[in-house]
Amino acid sequence: MSEHPTPETRGPASPRVPVGTLVFGSVAVVLGLLLLGGLLFELVLDPAYVAVGLLVLAGASMIIGGIAAGRRSRR
């Protein structure tokens, strides 16, 4: 008999949230908070800077999430 784990003996797989979904949700939350901050506290931000900052952070998050997923799948 082979002692390699089969799908039945590995145990339940942990549900994972796709990285893209998590990043998109984070961007939506940050935009919502910035809009609320602008309305409640009269916060004035340049929309171009906000867009560039969000895109840079979202891109970096996607790259880091992809690397982490690749490392997990190799194990």
Each residue's pLDDT tens digit, 6-41: 655 555 666 788 999 999 999 999 999 999 999 999
Q: Are the C-beta atoms of 61 and 18 separated by less than 8 Å?
A: no
Does the pTM of the predicted model rise above 0.85?
no
3-state class of 38 per DSSP? helix
Is residue 50 over pLDDT 60?
Answer: yes
Quote the radius of gyration of the chain (alpha carbons, Å).
20
The whole-chain average pLDDT of the chain stands at 86
* Residue owning tokens 């906000």: 50
**What's the token pair of residue 6?**
């089969």
